Structure 1
Amino acid sequence: MDAPKANKQQGDDGNAAPALKTPTDLRPQATTEVAEALNAVLADVFALYMKTKNFHWHMSGPHFRDYHLMLDDQATELFAMTDPLAERIRKLGGKTLRSIGHVSRLQRIPDNDEDFVEPSKMLSELCDNNRALVASLREAHEVCDDNRDIATASLIENWIDETEERTWFLFEADRNPDRTGH
């Protein structure tokens, strides 16, 4: 198979920009749809990573050490998702996120810029955000299924499992021992 050749296309600034024709057997429409779905997930992962680190840095209270360490572990896991997500987009020939501004335009996980957040509220909010991320991952998986992108779907399945585990830990850490539910 010949190496992909760069061809000239017009960039955002109007100048000729090289475009890579990444080899794939997926239809061009499929790579576009998958890349769009993954970029939205990637923006959410960056937003959730930042929020998790924010809460990690600003944790307080009697369970400080346990929550602080748990959130650090969860942030590390989230950050570990970013490179494989972005590289998968590029493997398909798509363009990926380029800036914090790009993240903010695509993210669906809301920021929390409050000066103080109660620890229980932190855990509850992160639990809800991880549940929202699972829903987004499932939607992206459907896009992959519709476009026969088995490799991306396989990665997403592992991320769903990891995200469900984070959700479970956050739920259990925040659960009132006097109740069986939230």
Structure 2
Amino acid sequence: MRILGIDPGLRRTGFGVIDAQGSHLQYVTSGTIVVPADEPLAQRLKVILDNVREIVRETSPTVSALEKVFVNTNPTSTLLLGQARGAAMCALADHGLLVHEYTALQIKKSVVGNGHAAKEQVQAMVQHLLQLNGLPAADSADALACAICHAHIGPMADRLTQAAGLPSRRGLRLRAGRLTG
């Protein structure tokens, strides 16, 4: 499975792509979409949308993982982050990709073993798990960590869903406003 992880942000959106085969993880690519701060909001969101679409076209992921928005003390910041996530989600849905969402706590716990790990710890563990030559940039590391989290959690969640006799998440697609199997 090829996983595209996204760490959304209105100024910087990180992305990371890995291949996962069982417990073996292999780095494919990563980077940061830098969004111009001096543009109107609609143009900034379009930069995210267009770049995520291009990343999907270039890397052909089979699934995607996105960090969930947390509610912080500033509702305006939360709303803007939600809009950035929405632009990324639309690009992913545009290509028919399933979007799995994980909280920062789940991602850090899955990658570092501690849900309250520092950014530097996440970067170091991503470097170690993917056997990278250097420390990845913070936004890229967060996106790669999101993809790694899905590689660890996704297959287990699918097995639990199947064991419970529920419809598989893999077979569900949103088409023309309807959920189909």
Q: TM-score range by the shorter chain?
A: under 0.3
Report which of the two structures shows the higher radius of gyration computed on alpha carbons.
1
Counting helix residues as a fraction of each chain, which structure ranks higher? 1
Tell me the TM-score normalized by structure 2.
0.26
**TM-score, with length taken from structure 1:** 0.26
Q: Return the structure number with greater strand share.
A: 2
